[in-house]
Amino acid sequence: MTNFQPPTPFNIADYFLDARVREGRGERIALRHSGGTVSYGELAAASNRFGNLLLEAGVQPGERVIIALPDAPDYVAALFGILKAGAVVVMVNPHLTRAEIDYFLSYTGATAAFVHRDSAGDFLAAVHDAGRHDSGAPDHVFVVGTPEFESRVAAQSDTLAAFEAAPDDPAIWLFSGGTTGFPKGVVQSHRSFANTTELYGKGVIGYTEDDITASVPKLYFGYATGANLFFPMSVGASCVLFSERCQVDTLFEVIEAFRPTILVNVPTMVNHILNHPQAAQRDLSSLRLSTSAGEALPQDLHTRWQDLFGVDLIDGLGTAEMWHVFLSNRPGDIRPGSLGREVPGFEVKVCDADGVEVKTGEVGFLWVRGDSRALEYWQHPEKTARAFRGPWYVSEDMLRRDAEGYFYYEGRADDMLKVSGKWLSPKEVENCLLGHPEVVEVAVVGHVEENGLTKPYAFVLTRGDDPLPELEGELQQYVKDQLAPYKYPRRVIFMDDLPRTHLGKVDRGLLRGHAGGGGDA
């Protein structure tokens, strides 16, 4: 399959939404939520009102507009309204800390923002302080859910032609999902979103108009923006939205109430589902498949999921820099523990530090190219030049490819550990420990001990609230029995929870700080 060739002009608000109405699908259900349903026609009208509100406020094409909203119809109307006005969508977690809000306001230079009344306090305070110090506060902050906002948006026209963007104009900012520090803005074009929709959403997963999707990650996460919004909308299917934090019981209730056919999942939630005491009794029979991305899916979890539910779990790899998944298993071709093979239309190779392809079975850096590559990292020219080389995106992700063309994730380059003079992948130790019956979740990081040597430390969540003192030694021996001796964790630190980044990934930088202390050599 070749890459998607968009016409000029090309705006993804038209591609994903207005085109469904022109096709005569305006009465079909686009969104399902606790308050009812929204048809494609109703959503198009709502997005036009949001877009006209921005134009009335003076927002210009190419300017950034922040969305800091919970998953609900207003989120989707705002997103498409921003695109229709010709502005650029910046999606952020609606529950940011004050320091994170300050960062995003300053870094993005957004001229407008949509925030929800329930989480607007810190945001409005940050905007006020930024304006007082003349440091780039948005000119317009729309507080969704207030009577004032509802009245103002209702007064707008419900017709608006999508801005005539070029395919490679910026459309949406994503943010790099690194495990340390503030994230970089990844500027993605209109072309990228349509290209991966055609190649992966339609070509590999096979979304149809009869599908109903539900998602564990929220819409501000690019993985969910695609799999739980853009992909289903591209074929006239419908998306389930819920604003609550996605805990296991909530997810079970959503699945049983809305009967989705596709579940957009992540390994952490797969683990929580499998460890739920009522998992076997809950009804997941509506699902025809579940996707998994965002972090590596251990083979043990994959096998347990298949044994318990009999539902295909499609693991894959994507990055913000390529927007979405470009390596994937696929229905009828699943190899547990692997990332699958290249999505047609993308080329992937595994290279050493000099950019030379390594031999089959060897670990190296991910290089990928295709028409979903980002334009740049915003205001990071050196990092842009280092990561985007000609048509290729060069990642810090470490992979290996077997003789049959299946790829396997080995971790991030900065997470790989040199222990006893040999390379160690934390993922290998994590996957091993997950096989122990007492381990629910685990993260392994390197800690430099007093003697200057790096050793693996394991941060573990267990089934019991108070793990017995002897469990640390038991887990260390468990790893020694299955892996090379140098790979066992020198310390096992029991946690109530693991710290996470704004995208929900384990914050390994914080864990390294928590390691502290000594440990056996």
Q: What is the pTM of this model?
A: 0.85
pLDDT tens across 51-94, in order?
999 999 999 999 999 999 999 999 999 999 999 999 999 999 99
Residue 298: predicted pLDDT: 85
Q: Would residue 149 count as lying in a domain? A: no
Residue 467 or residue 444, greater confidence: 444
pLDDT tens across 9-39, in order?
999 999 999 999 999 999 999 999 999 999 9
Structure tokens at 113: 């923002």
DSSP characters over 57-104: TTPPTT-EEEEE--SSHHHHHHHHHHHHTT-EEEE--TT--HHHHHHH
CB neighbour list of residue 227: distance below 8 Å, 6 or more residues apart: 201, 205, 213, 215, 262, 264, 291, 324
Cα torsion angle, 436, 438, 442, 446, sign: negative
Q: Would residue 222 count as lying in a domain? A: no
Structure tokens at 391: 């048509």
Q: Is the pLDDT of residue 521 over 80?
A: no
pLDDT tens across 280-299, in order?
999 999 999 999 998 888 88
Average pLDDT over residues 209-229: 97
CATH code for the domain of 451: 3.30.300.30
Indicate the pLDDT class of residue 518, thresholds 50, 70 and 90.
very low
Q: Would residue 460 count as lying in a domain? A: yes
Q: Would residue 90 count as lying in a domain? A: no
Are the C-beta atoms of 182 and 38 separated by less than 8 Å?
no
Residue 312: predicted pLDDT: 97
Report the C-alpha gap between 325 and 316 in whole angstroms. Answer: 6
Indicate the pLDDT class of residue 428, thresholds 50, 70 and 90.
confident
Largest CA distance in the chain: 70
Q: Would residue 94 count as lying in a domain? A: no
Q: Would residue 396 count as lying in a domain? A: no
Rg (CA), the chain: 23
- Segment (H or E) for 313: strand 312-318
Q: Would residue 474 count as lying in a domain? A: yes
Sequence-distant contacts of 272-276: CB under 8 A, at least 24 apart: 272/247, 272/248, 272/440, 273/248, 273/305, 274/301, 274/304, 274/305, 274/308, 275/440, 275/463, 276/248, 276/249, 276/252
Report the C-alpha gap between 191 and 472 in whole angstroms. Answer: 51
Residue numbers of the domain that contains 447: 417-515
Look at the chain and report how many structural domains it folds into. 1
Q: Would residue 459 count as lying in a domain? A: yes
Residue 136: predicted pLDDT: 66
